[in-house]
Amino acid sequence: MKKSLEDHAARFDEQAGEYDESNSDEYRACANLVIEHAGPEADDIVLDLGTGTGAIALALAPDADRVVGRDISEGMMAEAEAKAEEDGLENFEFATGSFREPEYDGDVDVVTSNFALHHLSDAEKREAIEVIAALEPRKFVLGDVMFFGEPDPEVPFYSPEVDDPATVGTLADAFTDAGFSLTAVERVHDQVGVLVAERTPTEAGGVPSDDADDADDEIATDE
């Protein structure tokens, strides 16, 4: 049976204290790429969904105007707040929220997420991306468990009991349908990657950039 949000929240509440120490090298590589691609400007507001213990949010805070973190686990966010206080950061806000109900309706320039969206079904992922698109960020950087090839349940990044990763192609279609263009696809592992989606120009009659074409080529190669 598919886990509910409450089940996931309880599981991460239990893991919160040891979560950072238990992360794999691939997780850390993925997080570093999300941080690199997010690259917020000094006046940007960043929304980090599935913020967890704040790995992405707190790394981006020094370069952004403000970082808003949302998660379903209070235990994970308590760890994030403790780290923020230790680092002397003040331009952050952590509160309960999910991908489909982020509980935030302010301005957003950059949306980030790392190792969280894969807990949703493909239909729920699509709905989440549509909700994010409605916030009108210029960029969404997603690091996650995703399939670049035939899924292998023996690989440690994929646990059918709690995970429901999508193929890169499925995610790309959801982004495109929500008004984004993929401008980068980074493969960290056969089942771990980073997608960079930017708002597709419509009013000015713009065309996709060369970066978007390169990303499409990467997806076509992997499918």
The pLDDT of residue 210 is above 60:
no
Q: How confident is the model at residue 81 (pLDDT cuts 50, 70, 90)?
A: very high
pLDDT for position 164: 87
CA distance 122 to 9: 20
Average pLDDT over every residue of 190-201:
92
Containing 186, the helix (H) or strand (E) segment is: strand 180-189
The pLDDT of residue 32 is above 90:
yes
CA distance 124 to 126: 5
**Hunting for tokens 């992997």 — which residue is that?**
222
Q: How confident is the model at residue 27 (pLDDT cuts 50, 70, 90)?
A: confident
Q: Which residue has the higher pLDDT, 156 or 138?
A: 138
The pLDDT of residue 108 is above 50:
yes
pLDDT for position 134: 97
pLDDT for position 220: 52
Angle at 116 between CA 113 and CA 118, to 5 degrees: 120
**Hunting for tokens 């349940």 — which residue is that?**
153
Nearest to 74 by CA among 91, 53, 104: 53
Say if CB 67 and CB 91 are below 8 A apart: yes
Say if CB 152 and CB 197 are below 8 A apart: no
Judged by average pLDDT, the poorest of 13-17, 45-49, 104-108, 110-114 is: 13-17
CA distance 116 to 50: 6
**How many CB atoms are closer than 10 A to CB 159?**
12
The pLDDT of residue 1 is above 60:
no
Number of domains in the chain: 1
Percent of the chain with pLDDT over 90: 66
CA distance 179 to 167: 19
Range of the domain at 12: 5-222
Nearest to 116 by CA among 196, 216, 48: 48
Q: How confident is the model at residue 127 (pLDDT cuts 50, 70, 90)?
A: very high
Percent of the chain with pLDDT over 70: 76
Question: Which CATH number do you get for residue 38?
Answer: 3.40.50.150
Q: How confident is the model at residue 4 (pLDDT cuts 50, 70, 90)?
A: low
Average pLDDT, the chain: 86
CA distance 12 to 197: 28
The pLDDT of residue 202 is above 60:
no
The pLDDT of residue 206 is above 50:
no
| 3-state secondary structure string across 202-221 | CCCCCCCCHHHHHHHHHHHH
